[in-house]
Amino acid sequence: YKKVTTKSLIEMKSNGEKISMLTAYDYTMAKIVDTAGVDVILVGDSASNVMAGHETTLPITLDQMIYHASSVVRAVERALVVIDLPFGSYQSDSKEALRSSIRIMKESGGHAVKLEGGKEIKESIKKILNAGIPVMGHLGLTPQSIYKFGTYTVRAKEDEEAEKLIEDAKLLEQLGCFALVLEKIPANLAKQVAESISIPVIGIGAGGGVDGQVLVIHDMLGMNNEFSPRFLRRYMNLYEGMTSAISKYVTDVKSKDFPNEKEQY
Ligand code: KIV
Ligand code: NA
């Protein structure tokens, strides 16, 4: 795929090709992620945690999401760019949801939006889709509802919640969402959902039976050594690598090793 579209993702699912997705929040990182061949770049509201240092995703604003998203869009040539609608920008009513989505699309140049929830936000999803804006769903652990759940532990372990999740996934497909994220639910349940709908299911902490995987870039690069959920695979230890590079710089400045003769005019 020269340029990934919502259609290519649906094709990937029917061809059995797994979809790769990572987050990015800024130009430099997005350029690297895109060049490395990631199919979908998510400008996640996890920016609230990893970029701004908030404890939850709730404080990030629509303006801040648009700033991150427009920085990412300027870097990307191939990937599909999906942007999270932040908490408070779509829950009041479907008109607000559409207004927020239009702002994201116009002001960032991104390709699709993502919203957390199922049946509760049905009208909003319909309205956004009617405006021609592709929507990605997000079920399971939905961090914008952290104060309702109280913890970030695995969701839908009980039958009742699992059943609602299956219904919500089918509803999202029916409404016309092009894909959905399943976060931190039992692998068996995620596999069952992926097999029962035709749109791609991208998992995070949802096992290998789904159609693709997503991780937060800072986590998979090991920039963050405090957050170690079971589902996280670290591909680098950038925390150590960067800390030792930076302390070497400090040493070189103090010892007058840097700059040397060749590093000056
Ligand atoms: O904000 C985010 O990073 C996300 C992913 C974890 C799916 O929503
Ligand atoms: Na998110």
Fold of 6-234: TIM Barrel (3.20.20)
Tens of pLDDT, residues 61-120: 999 999 999 999 999 999 999 999 999 999 999 999 999 999 999 999 999 999 999 999
Say yes or no: CB of residue 84 within 6 Å of ligand 1: yes
Q: Is the pLDDT of residue 1 over 90?
A: no
Q: CA 150: distance to chain centroid?
A: 21
Neighbours of 15 (CB within 10 A): 7
Ligand 2 mean position, distance from CA 260 (Å): 46
pTM (2 d.p.): 0.98
* 84 SS3 class: strand
Tens of pLDDT, residues 110-154: 999 999 999 999 999 999 999 999 999 999 999 999 999 999 999
Ligand nearest to the CA of 44: 1
d(CA 144, CA 152): 11
Percentage of the chain with pLDDT > 90? 98
Domains of the chain, residue spans: 6-234, 239-265
ipTM: 0.99
Q: Which of 137, 127, 75 shows the shortest CA–CA distance to 101?
A: 127
Ligand 1 mean position, distance from CA 14 (Å): 24
